[in-house]
Amino acid sequence: MEVLVIVNLCKKYDAKIILTSDAHICVDIANYEFSINTLKEIDLPNELIINEPSKLVSYFHSKGKLDDFTLSDLENL
């Protein structure tokens, strides 16, 4: 399965990931069951998952991006 290869490479190289439901029908929106089961199978460290806004902003800052952006800016969107 291709997704297992990709997630294993993310684990090997400490690449950050964002989980999605990849919903194609409305009842699957926010259904992360497949994603979570895949990550459990591979034992991907939680610190590589950056779905939380604070983790995502921190990631961008670590790459020199969005330096002038803070979490409080999200409240104004």
Give the HSE-up count for residue 20: Cα atoms under 13 Å, Cβ half-sphere: 5
Structure tokens at 15: 């690449």
What tens digit of pLDDT does each residue of 21-66 get? 888 999 989 898 988 888 888 999 999 999 998 899 999 999 999 8
Write b or e for each residue in 57-67: b if 16 or more Cβ atoms lie within 10 A of its Cβ, otherwise e: beeeeeeeeee
Q: What is the pLDDT of residue 77?
A: 65
Angle between helices 33-42 and 2-12 (to 10 degrees): 50
Q: Considering only CA atoms, which of 37, 36, 42 is closest in space to residue 19?
A: 36
**What's the pTM value of the predicted model, to 2 decimals?**
0.77
